[in-house]
Amino acid sequence: MAQRAFPSAEFEIIKDLQHISGCFRNEAYQIGIGDDAAVRCSQNAEKLILTTDVSVENVHFSLDTMSLQEAAYRAMVSNISDCAAMGALPDSALVQLVFPEKGEELREKVLSVYRGFSEACSRWQFPIVGGDLSAGGQWVFGITLLGKVSEGQRILQRKGARAGDNLWVSGFPGRSAAGFEVLKRWGRENVPSRFSELVMNHIRPVPRVEAGLRLAADPEVHALMDLSDGLSKDCRTLSYENKLGIILKYDALRIPKEMIQLSAEVGIAVQDWFLNGGEDYELLFAASDHFDPLTVASQYSGGLFCIGQFTGDRQGLFLEKDRVVSEVAGCGWDHFRNIDKRKSTNISQAT
């Protein structure tokens, strides 16, 4: 018997995407990609969280500095990071993909995008269970991620910090922004080896899922969010949500040597990357004096750093440097304030 023709080209590529996404290897899903909707079987009293994010070509990424597969991986990571900030495990994803109408080798490019999604999904063991494909003016990745929280497990929020709490962060803020600066200066093909790790921080960030789970289980941790729009903006969010001031202790920081070297070469202060860089996908959290970072060490090898303190004596964000405390001006990425900065030749940090 002759093989039946696919009902449409879209249907044909969806069949290929089923194998890449791994949706039929997850027993929690009765129905995955290929129907009008996915069907998930609930288990016990677990809770589901939902988060969504969009990644737009020439706003969030440029194909001058990364491949489609890398851009797709990073788009999925931004959602996984939101999951980690709630103390949840990623469960499944829905993907809306817009591709350029006049693109060459379009089929292979779409498959490459899904390989990037699948790379992130495979690493944190969850499937893509559905989505949509549409032609448009440029590449757009829209992702909705479901996360799961087991029965009895605490869900952390941005609210909950107390006066006197310490402000902690995983990793060193600004490494992604520094890596992006390297890409702008030298291009992807000519990255100096001394700065290759900074570039990987921008192109292949690692969401802190395991650390988020451990932090959620620690009663000394009071509030948590992911660091994606720049430290100054995200700290200001924590300050506002908790009606507390935050004093950052810049003098206490151990600045990575490659950032110091890059700063000297390009004439940009490390403090600028530290305060206003974005897309780090680290965790920013409030914890009491009794918090022991060693309790997280087994789940996260990148280091936890105390970078400030919450105070009830003032509102807003402040920086203590050389024993002088000054207010930090509002910066970081804001889509409604940064519209004029979106240029394909100089992509701003946007999440």
Task: Delimit the domains of the chain by residue range.
Answer: 10-149, 166-334
pLDDT at 35: 52
Give the Cα separation of 71 and 60 in Å (integer): 9
In this prediction the pTM is: 0.84
- What would the mean pLDDT of 265-292 be, rounded to a whole number? 95
10-149 and 166-334: identical CATH topology: no
Q: What's the number of CA atoms in the CB half-sphere (13 Å) around residue 100? A: 12
Q: Flag whether pLDDT at 349 surpasses 60.
A: no
Nearest to residue 152, comparing CAs of 74, 103, 210, 217? 217
Q: Flag whether pLDDT at 345 surpasses 50.
A: no
Instruction: Report helix angle 175-186 to 196-203, nearest 10.
Output: 110
- What would the mean pLDDT of 127-150 be, rounded to a whole number? 93
Task: State the DSSP H helix or E strand holding residue 331, giving kind and residue range, or none if neither.
Answer: none
Give the Cα separation of 80 and 147 in Å (integer): 8
| Max Cα–Cα distance, the chain, nearest Å | 82
Angle (CA) 144-86-164 rounded to 5° is 145
Least confident of 24-33, 202-211, 301-310: 24-33
Query: What are the pLDDT digits (tens) for 288-303?
Result: 999 999 888 766 667 8
Query: What are the pLDDT digits (tens) for 169-192?
Result: 998 999 999 999 999 999 999 999
Q: What percent of the chain has pLDDT over 90?
A: 63
Please name the CATH architecture into which domain 10-149 falls: 2-Layer Sandwich (3.30)
**Side chain identity at residue 41, one-letter code:** C
Please tell me the CATH superfamily of domain 166-334, with its number. PurM-like C-terminal domain (3.90.650.10)
pLDDT at 342: 39
